[in-house]
Amino acid sequence: MSKQEPEIGEENKQCGIQVIARAAAIMRTLGEHPHGLSLAAIAQAVDLPRSTVQRIVGALEAEYLVEAICRSGGFRLGPALGRLIHRTQTDIITVVRPYLEQLANQLQESVSLSKQAGKNIYVIDRIVAERELRVVFPIGIHVPLHSTASGKVLLSRLNDEQVRDLLPDPLPPMTCNTHDLPTLLNELATIRKTGVAIEQEENTEGMSSVAVLLDTYLGPFTIAVVVPSPRAARRIDLFKKALLECKQEIERMIGGNACKP
């Protein structure tokens, strides 16, 4: 005769749900701050006591969902999250990765594969350029849609009314170059015509990006070239051409109509 599991009281269930919700809030906050935050900053962002945040972060760190940043003493999202995201997106990653590698080798720049997550994009795969001056970013990073090329090309799928419903007004300024909502809407009209989005130091100073939309039967994704700004201006046309060619090749294999008769 098998032993029965002890019943869990309603109070314990609610406590467990609360802990999960708090852990999710902490991870979302760290996702919005890829360079990391101190325990005090996390506590302020999620409106919880520092001691509570410390306990939850400690548990997340034990599972490698959060990792400590040695120099600053802060914390950021850990490698286990990237592996989980990788597994959930394994189909698209398996198909697209060879094209990303080819694109990165061709341009000698870092490239990324991203997907929308609410008002953010998150990077589900990336190839980092093998050169001295390059852009390095972790898998799993969450970045606002309105301040990135990948985000803007995803927003271009929506009409202006849908964009206004999705995004706050005013838009949070990430740098002094971040567009306001009217400027962004004008830019989206151009992106809808060209199919290419450009971002110049609108999310991070010193970094620029160019992106195109992937319309696949697995859903919409973006591929982007992410570069140090000093190199971006003189190579924009090359990036556009290479991205559009890469997009065409990928969509030929797994495009939105690929599985239709």
Domains with residue ranges and CATH for the chain: 10-77 (1.10.10.10), 82-254 (3.30.450.40)
The CA-based diameter of the chain, rounded to the nearest angstrom, is 75
Q: Which of 62-76, 112-126, 174-188, 228-242 has the lowest mean pLDDT?
A: 62-76
> 32 in helix, strand or coil?
coil
pTM of the model: 0.68
Among residues of the chain, what percentage have pLDDT more than 90? 59
First to last CA, the chain: 55
- In this prediction, residue 256 carries a pLDDT of 66
pLDDT-based confidence at residue 192 (cuts at 50, 70, 90): very high
Task: Give residue for tokens 């325990």.
Answer: 39
* Run of H or E residues at 22: helix 10-31
- In this prediction, residue 35 carries a pLDDT of 79
> 124 in helix, strand or coil?
strand
pLDDT in tens, 213-259: 999 877 899 999 999 998 988 899 999 999 999 999 999 888 765 44
Assess contact for 122 and 100: CB atoms under 8 A: no
- E strands in 40-90: 66-68, 75-77
pLDDT in tens, 72-103: 678 988 888 767 665 655 578 888 999 999 99
Region 46-58: mean pLDDT is 94
Region 66-70: mean pLDDT is 85
Is residue 173 reached through a cis peptide bond, with omega within 30 degrees of 0 on the bond before it? no
Both tokens assigned to 243: 């991205």
**What 8-state DSSP symbol labels residue 81?**
H
- In this prediction, residue 32 carries a pLDDT of 81
Stronger pLDDT, 174 or 17, i.e. the higher one: 174
How do 110-117 and 219-228 pair as beta strands? antiparallel
Four-point Cα dihedral 233, 237, 240, 242, nearest 10: -110
